[in-house]
Amino acid sequence: MTQPPRTRDANTREDCEALDRADPLALARAQFTLPDGVIYLDGHSLGPATHAALARVERTAREEWREGLIRSWNTAGWIDLPRSVGAKLARLIGVAEGDVIVTDSVSVNLFKLGAAALPVAKSRTIIVEDSEFPTDQYVAEGLTALSGAAMMRVGEHQGILALQQTGGVLIRSIVNYRSSDTVDVAAFEEIARASGGVIVWDLSHATGVLDLRLGAKGARLATGCTYKFLNGGPGAPAFVYVHDELAGKIASPISGWFGHADPFAFNAAYAPCEGVSRFAAGTPGVLSLAALDAALDAFENVDLKHIAAKTGALGDLVIARADAMGLATISPRNWTKRGGHISLLHDQGYAIVQALVARKIIPDFRAPNAMRFGVAPLYVRFVEVWDAMDQLADILETRAWDKPEFHARSKVT
């Protein structure tokens, strides 16, 4: 594993400048278009725009939709986008090119994959941890209610034990949205296989910051979101990965026409197409798909080992500075055990984050007390993390968060 730059030695802003100069990913930043003066540490929630994505949205709207109209399904390749964008994603998660398709949202895809896994698991049980991202838990509730499968909600880190005991279907994030904890995918898959169980991986907070190598680790089913560290744009569609060996043996419960072997034959009876494409359902959202397609070009030719190492190094810097401020973290100190965000705890976390935003530094907050700092390796600089931590220290020291306007709650936090 590539060692990250030794950020524990970054004791000054100049040290950070040196790290940025030595950064093999430094050139990627130029592909992004961030607002002036903003330090953006919220890539784990919504990635920023690239020049290419903005240009592509406009081209898709003005040339393909306005000018090409219905013809663009063929002439602009709209019909192939779910698969061609999926092929780009496949490299980022380390699986075969044809095993990924872009479709629907993570919530809908968790439902589809969970349902599809039930007939091939030893036990008709859906397992989810109570520390799991909420929508994963909610979807498990809805799926079990409809299908009659059993629902097992277990404590944090208890999911794999429950899988081992039941041989059921475990829905599991690779990076926890709150703590940033990661999981040993290969070890989990080994247990799943031995027990007759199946794991549906949620890659939402993992893709784009780690060297996932899911194929080599035996992962068979996954979904993940593309608007976070993949920078696909607000509400960009999610993806589905199904290992080719499994694809022919399972079926999507939402058997829509775009998953049909021959959708434009307009046959009455459903016949799923080959491979992961059977997990497509309705007509794909072309504008969002096109933005995502262009956004992923920022990852072209980027070494995933560099991605993982820089994510680790930036995170180390956040933790080192937080230690110096006396701020506790719930994120792993070992960079190989965490994702692309660091959660720092403070009872006044909400107001502190608002005070940072007022200074054009944008992290985010998760109730009740976690301030999350996302360190996306393609556009976040060491010196920006340094400056952000300076401001955080100042806000804590001067109690700058203690103003009424920083306590007013928004609909979306």
For the annotated catalytic residues, the residue numbers are 133, 202, 227-228, 372
Say if CB 291 and CB 57 are below 8 A apart: yes
Cα torsion angle, 202, 203, 204, 205, sign: positive
- Shortest CB 396 distance to a copy of itself, Å: 22
CB of 394 to a copy of itself, least distance (A): 22
Kindly identify the residues of this chain, within the stretch 166-205, that bind a copy of itself according to CB under 8 A: none
- Least distance CB 212 / a copy of itself (angstroms): 21
Task: Reduce the DSSP state of residue 395 to 3 states and report it.
Answer: helix
Piece of 61-69, 192-200, 206-214, 342-350 that binds a copy of itself (CB under 8 A): 61-69
Interacting residue with a copy of itself among 216, 282, 325, 394 (CB under 8 A): 282
Regarding 369 and contact with a copy of itself (CB under 8 A), the answer is no
The tokens of 16 are what?
A: 């950070």
Query: Which stretch, 87-95, 184-192, 252-260, 328-336, contacts a copy of itself (CB under 8 A)?
Result: 252-260
Size, binding site for a copy of itself by CB under 8 A:
95
* Crossing angle (nearest 10°) for helices 382-397 and 304-325: 20
Nearer to a copy of itself, 233 or 312 (CB): 233
User: 276 vs 87, 142, 208, 322, CA distance in Å?
Assistant: 11, 23, 21, 43
**Is residue 339 at the binding interface for a copy of itself, with CB under 8 A as the rule?**
no
Nearest distance, CB of residue 116 and a copy of itself, angstroms: 9
d(C-alpha 196, C-alpha 124), whole Å: 11
CA atoms within 13 A on the CB side of 177: 21
* Shortest distance (Å) from residue 131 CB to a copy of itself: 8
Q: Give residues 9-38 in contact with a copy of itself (rule: CB under 8 A).
A: 33, 35, 38
- What would the two tokens of residue 65 be? 């939709």
- Of these, 17, 18, 29, 61, which contacts a copy of itself (CB under 8 A)? 61
The letter for the amino acid at 269 is A
Q: How far is the CB of 348 from a copy of itself (least distance, A)?
A: 18
Could you give the CA distance from residue 254 to residue 337 in angstroms, rounded to a whole number? 35
Could you tell me which residues come within 8 angstroms of residue 355 by beta carbon, excluding any fewer than 6 positions away? 395, 400, 401, 403, 406
Classify the phi-psi angles of 390: left when phi > 0, otherwise alpha if psi is within -120 to 50, otherwise beta. alpha
Nearest to 40 by CA among 316, 295, 340, 330: 340
Residue type, 234: P
- Using alpha carbons, list the distances in angstroms from residue 262 to 76, 106, 278: 20, 25, 11
Site for a copy of itself in 111-150 (CB under 8 A): 111, 115, 130, 134-135, 137-139, 141-143, 145-148
Of 62 and 305, which has the nearer Cβ to a copy of itself?
Answer: 62
> What x/- string results for residues 208 through 237 when contact with a copy of itself is judged by CB under 8 A?
-----------------x-x-----xxxxx
Whether the bond into 134 is cis, omega within 30 of 0: no
Helix, strand, coil share (%) of the chain residues, nearest 5: 45, 15, 40
Beta bridge partners of 338: 181
**Which of 19, 199, 214, 281 forms a contact with a copy of itself (CB under 8 A)?**
281
Nearer to a copy of itself, 286 or 304 (CB): 286
CB of 60 to a copy of itself, least distance (A): 8
Could you say which residues in the range 340-359 bind a copy of itself, by CB under 8 A?
357
CA distance 310 to 336: 11
Given candidates 28, 108, 313, 344, which one binds a copy of itself under the rule CB under 8 A? Answer: 108
Distance CA 85, CA 108 (A): 19
Angle, CA 284 vertex, CA 239 and CA 115 arms, to 5°: 50
Q: Is 315 or 363 the residue whose CB approaches a copy of itself more closely?
A: 363
Smaller CB separation from a copy of itself, 66 or 333: 66
- By CB under 8 A, which span of 89-97, 308-316, 384-392, 404-412 interacts with a copy of itself? 404-412
* 74, 334, 336, 398: which one binds a copy of itself (CB under 8 A): 74
Give the shortest CB-198-to-a copy of itself separation in angstroms.
16
